[in-house]
Amino acid sequence: MALLRTERDGPVTTLTIDRAETMNPLGIPGDGEEFAAACDTINRDLETRCVILTGAGKAFSAGGDVKAMRDRTGTFGGTPPAISDGYRDNIHRILRALYGLRVPVIAAVNGPAIGLGCDVACLADIRIAGEKAKFGVTFLKLGIIPGDGGAWILPRAIGMSRAAEMFFTGDVIDAATARDWGLVSRVVPQDDLLAQANVLACRIAALPPHALRQTKMLLRQGHDMSYDGALELAANTQAMMHHTADHAEGVAALIEKREPRFTGD
């Protein structure tokens, strides 16, 4: 059974983690391949300008398959070297695929986002929570560590102190606390979550697509480079943007006091 349900509406593609009957666990063999294929398709489709990532049913994702951990099957079975390979070839592939998306990603967190599920949500550029959303990185309560790279992901979302508190206590926080900590941008009524995510996605998708992708690239690269390096990258990227038809259209629309019509040229 497929993990992801993909729906495209104009320039917005929605990816839904679709194992609702079991709270949308991740890390089952084949999940990494499916995420990689879906994200590769999106990257190649220049008509897609924004992605919404959400979960089916009552959960965003409850994280790794705990029953498989108990039974030591699938990704969590075999010798320590085999388990390491399972993380690299499957779980890490999910995260690398999401991190490698070139268009903006909005996580519409509709329920619990726990462990791997929380870290997947944190790889989105923007996170919006429904009122029933919850967030936790409960690895230590299972006697394991954040093997999905969460120790790199979460501090970049909420800072080292908050991330350490979540990791070291294993506490699960509610949507309002997540908003206060900067883990999500806003909390919206549960029934209005996808509609509001779609409104935001459409606003984003209306902007010039090449400049949009390049701006996401600059935000990502800016995490790990010097200010001088960021300035040099910005100058070289900007030079290309000045030669696009969308730049000319944006300037003309501003001068003429009308809405711009960006075409991706």
Does one domain contain both 235 and 179? no
Q: How many CA atoms within 13 Å lie on the side-chain side of 200?
A: 22
What is the token pair recorded at 215? Answer: 């701006």
In this prediction, residue 1 carries a pLDDT of 61
Please report whether residue 19 resides in a domain. yes
Alpha carbon distance 84, 78 (integer Å): 10
Does one domain contain both 130 and 248? no
Query: CATH no. for residue 51?
Result: 3.90.226.10
Please report whether residue 158 resides in a domain. yes
In this prediction, residue 264 carries a pLDDT of 84
Per run of 10 residues, the mean pLDDT along the chain (length 265 residues) is 90 97 94 96 95 97 92 92 94 96 98 97 98 97 95 96 97 98 97 97 95 93 89 93 92 92 87
Beta strand 63-64 pairing with 50-55: unpaired
What is the token pair recorded at 253? Answer: 């629309």
pTM score over 0.85: yes
Closest C-alpha among 65, 90, 86 to residue 77:
86
In this prediction, residue 265 carries a pLDDT of 81
Domain count, the chain: 2
Question: Which residues in 163-199 are b (16+ Cβ under 10 Å) and which e?
Answer: beebbeeeebbebebbbebebbbebbeeeebbebbbe
